[in-house]
Structure 1
């Protein structure tokens, strides 16, 4: 009996709520980046009668397998000799460069650290500094880039180069001591790098980490370096925490319910309810301090600690639609592949940031025709649809105690295997929660009214 798979969906969909708005015409404006959570990958049909049908959302075969009904199987763990995950010995993504303006500095928060991201045109590099001017502790992100390409504090005009050295204190007499050269006049600079068109930083300003990129690089994702793949990116700050964000994106079973009425899906052959839920067989194959691997029939998934959840299709069968060869036969076409990449960033208790990209090596014309903001609108419809639910759920998890998650939650089916695997990793290796270095009391921020929470 064929294993039950989750909804198979494309990276393009037509949200029902959008189709009733001013975006309904012209037709191509209905194409949107499929904002579904992970574990929902494209089922590529062999033949399509039109380009639009290439990207329809269709349920996979719905014969129910008993394999997907039982509880999650224990994951295979690799002994790491009592190692503990160090939250501050990792590269963290800040923002895609497509969403950064080189003309101004940008304020960002990661792990509770306030940083400023800015373009140093003298070195042609993105720089990441502590977002604090050493003079009077004003935020440098409120400053500007001066005519010489230096980061200028807008409060009193102090200027800094790409290494964090102070180059100008306007209030210092030109014939006086060179106070701008004092160590206390410098800004703390974080190691940073551009990787996969995303700015990353190492959250430690100690000089010993200046060249950390030579010893440890950010995670490599092959699809994001392959020019045959399209890779439109988006990002959003979200009003619930890192752990809730990660487990939500690993959970395919919530899609037909939490996002009901937003994504158009075909009616499954075996329908147990209006929304179209079904058993889903997921499993965790290996779990260690670096994350874990997941598996199900349609593809492979990886959690690369602490930020990346990466799911990709298994090799797809050739549909016989290759190019003709000189011998009269048809050359096999390149295998159509796609991936879902979610980059989940801990910002502060109760807040996180998501960067998404859905690379694929087919239908690349769509990204050339459809404006990026259309994809952004589509993704945000989905994020909005369960935002309040997850915001409240996080507080209930906090009340129960994150370390008691397994006891507080009843997870009897294999559809929760990846979520259980993530919580297992978090509790066994990473201290049960993000290490905020004592910057926060542990309490979540107050819950605003629903209308305010949804007002973005």
Structure 2
């Protein structure tokens, strides 16, 4: 069967990825904007360069272009580079610890303005997009056997080259599974409820100072909004209606309703971003 690669609905296009030098120490892969390397058994990094922004040449007051000696930056471009480093360590059958760091030499100022937990919320969405899929896939591969993993996975495109390369490495140099050295039998535990599997609080928030601080602060704000709402309603009920204008009463009730609605929205935001956010591939 011939498989034709097409652009997706967001305008994406096939990615050409080529793997080379696969051995016991890992493998190297190249693609259009950069390269990646897998350092066996747990470290993977990818680096890429973005199109450079051309600098505007500087001119003298009379409009003449400054010489290269006086303006060395004029003919050059600033190369924007980024790198992602992943360390995925198996800790028990069906469980791994993921540690990653993102590096770049551009748009650094935004990190000083936007709190770190805001970036983590977006990164967790990316992780959630694959977490449940990988959880199910792991069990399907176990059913057919590691050497027959292709029967459980459909990886027909060149962008799947690194997945195929890792499976080749795992089968060739690790017999298709993690060597637990007798500590575990290798049998996967029962599949937990989705809320437990994709729980963010115990897997990330309690261990992240930025997310933990935001979690406590937002919970405190939720309580404050509820207290303000109740207090405003209490003042409204206790105040002599003849002593307060109709406009003031309307404003007081409106503020109470808004504070209560804001606290409910905030409660949903906290749960969705710091506890559990369901992800359905069929709807994405």
Tell me the TM-score normalised to structure 1 length: 0.38
Match of 2:107 in 1: 363
Compute the displacement of 1:385 (Å): 2.8
Contact 2:140–2:152 (CA<8 Å) still a contact in 1? no
Classify 1:352/1:328 alpha carbon distance in 2 versus 1 (closer, same or farther; 3 Å): closer
Q: Which is greater in Rg?
A: 2
Equivalent residues of 1:69, 1:279 under 8 A apart:
no
Alignment of 1:325-336 (within 5 A): 327-328=70-71, 330=74, 332-336=76-80
Q: Determine which of 100, 122, 125 is the counterpart of 1:378.
A: 122
| Runs of 4+ with >6 A deviation | none
Counterpart Cα distance in 2 of 1:429 and 1:448: 31
**Correspondence list, 1:257-276, <5 A:** 272-276=7-11
Distance 1:427-1:318 versus aligned 2 partners, 3 A rule: same
Alignment of 1:23-38 (within 5 A): none
Cα RMSD of the aligned pairs, angstroms, is 2.7
Q: What CA distance in whole angstroms lies between the structure 1 residues aligned with 2:135 and 2:96?
A: 11
Equivalent in the alignment of 1:5: none
- Count of matched residue pairs: 189
Aligned to 1:347: 91
Distance 1:339 1:381 in 2: 20
Unaligned 5+ runs, structure 1: 1-67, 71-270
2:35 corresponds to: 300
| 2:26 and 2:38 in contact (8 A); partners too | yes
Identify which of structures 1 and 2 has the higher relative contact order when contacts are C-alpha pairs closer than 8 Å and 6+ apart. Answer: 1
Number of the residue aligned with 1:189: none
Greater per-residue helix proportion: 2
Corresponding residue number in structure 2 for 1:415: 159
1:288 to 20, 23, 43: 23
> Closer, same or farther in 2 for the Cα pair 1:451/1:410, shift >3 Å?
closer
C-alpha distance in 1 between matches for 2:110 and 2:41: 32
Q: Distance in 2 between matches of 1:317 and 1:384?
A: 30
- Name 1:445's counterpart in structure 2: 189
Contact 1:281 1:415 in 2 (8 A): yes
CA displacement at 1:352 relative to structure 2: 0.6
CA contact 1:318–1:332 (8 Å) conserved in 2: no
Could you tell me which runs of 5 or more consecutive residues in structure 2 were left unpaired when the two chains were aligned: 59-67, 201-284
CA distance in 2, matches of 1:328, 1:280: 39
